[in-house]
Structure 1
Amino acid sequence: MSIRLLLADDQALVRGALAALLDLERDMQVVAEVGRGDEVVEAARTHEAQVCLLDIEMPGRSGIEAAREVSEQLPGVRSIIVTTFGRPGYLRAAIDAGATGFVVKDTPARELAEAVRRVHQGLRVVDPTLATASLLGGPNPLTERERDVLRAALSGAPVATISTQVHLSPGTVRNYLSSAIRKTDTATRVEAARTAQENGWL
């Protein structure tokens, strides 16, 4: 019996390349492809996928959010994050969301296929370099509210605009920003937001 795969990536070329590679494996079959994170659960359910390979940055819902939905709604289905963004914070967030695999897109085809087999067997597969970086980097130091405020700050928007977006008073926004700047050891809110993004904390 072939392992039934769902591929989720908003870039059709990447999806097509992954599908072509994995379909070469005798024990694998790509049964569904989607370009949006909010289409993953329905497609996985409809096509009876057993393993979902998810990109992180997709419209509708991120791969990490999609992995959480798969874990909650389809408990027998496994998820692997396959991403360009090898950031330690993303790895921790993916594992917390219920993903059982995390590999980067330049992983050789043979290793990716082996990762799919291991995850299908109920094992966890994590890129070793990222695992080390994640352990050394420690947990995400930012609170959920600090992350909300920093996401809004990424564009360089003024405090008044940020406060409107996150539904908080300007004074509260300033407090969260100063706390986040301290925790990220940066000098400005934009620097703090970029540092948090680079670490996969947002």
Structure 2
Amino acid sequence: MIRVVIAEDQQMLRGALTSLLKLEDDIEVVADVSDGQAAWDAIQKYNPDVCLLDIEIPYITGLEIAKRLKSAGDKSKIIIVTTFARPGYLQKAIDAQVEGYLLKDEPIDYLIEAIRKVMNGEHVISSDLAATLFLKQNNPLTDRETEVLKLAKEGWTTRDIGKTLFLTNGTIRNYLSSAIQKLEVETRQQAIDKAREKGWI
């Protein structure tokens, strides 16, 4: 029996996935949860064979859970599901060594087969996602520019970011200005939106 934890914040989709997977004789859904913290707790409690994780669940993202599990040497197989065919996200998932990366609009039979395949040691990526690897753009932002944009994305002011990173307001503004130029946009918000769309923050 393949024991699965599902983490998906869209209740209708989570309910549908749970119901459909329960119909399979060789799959057992041991927990279905709506956020990353609940997913982490369920994984620690049930020690599942497969973790089916939405990439952008609240509190702890699916990718962050994947990184934690791999760092801890956990043997659970990880399948990331997403609505986003973004090269940056796919690259992050590959870097996190997940076993599967699927688009949510795949047929349920494809997902079920993916679960069985990763249990057999295979890797599964939606074909539409695999194509995005060839469109991958290198992230032009430095680590510090990325960090500053991430904090700005959370609604932090220049002053707040400066205090947190122990940098002057002028330095923070310089990082934001540099990021805006590199991303070829005109405002801080446009820089945040573009970096997020590319999967860089």
The amino acid that maps onto 1:71 is: K
- Counterpart in 2 of 1:56? 55
Q: Note the 1:1-202 alignment, pairs <5 A.
A: 2-154=1-153, 159-164=158-163, 166-202=165-201
Stretch moving more, 151-160 or 53-62: 151-160
Cα–Cα, structure 1 residues 17 and 191, in superposed 2: closer, same or farther, change >3 Å? same
Report deviation, 1:84: 2.0
**In structure 1, C-alpha distance between the alignment counterparts of 2:66 and 2:135, rounded to whole Å:** 24
Structure 1 residue matching 2:58: 3-state secondary structure: coil
Report deviation, 1:157: 6.1
The amino acid that maps onto 1:128 is: S
Structure 1: 5+ residue stretches without partners? none
Report deviation, 1:31: 1.1
1:152-185 deviation digits (Å, cap 9, x = unpaired): 3337765334434554321221222122223222
**In structure 1, C-alpha distance between the alignment counterparts of 2:88 and 2:60, rounded to whole Å:** 18
The amino acid that maps onto 2:174 is: N
**In structure 2, C-alpha distance between the alignment counterparts of 1:21 and 1:194, rounded to whole Å:** 35
TM-score with structure 1 setting the length:
0.88
State the superposition RMSD in angstroms: 2.1
Report deviation, 1:66: 0.7
How many pairs were matched up?
201
Report deviation, 1:148: 2.0
**In structure 1, C-alpha distance between the alignment counterparts of 2:184 and 2:104, rounded to whole Å:** 30
Residue 6 of structure 2 contacts residue 53 of structure 2 at CA under 8 Å; is this kept in 1?
Answer: yes
**In structure 1, C-alpha distance between the alignment counterparts of 2:49 and 2:73, rounded to whole Å:** 10
Residue 141 of structure 2 contacts residue 179 of structure 2 at CA under 8 Å; is this kept in 1?
Answer: yes
1:26-57 deviation digits (Å, cap 9, x = unpaired): 22111112222123343223223100000122
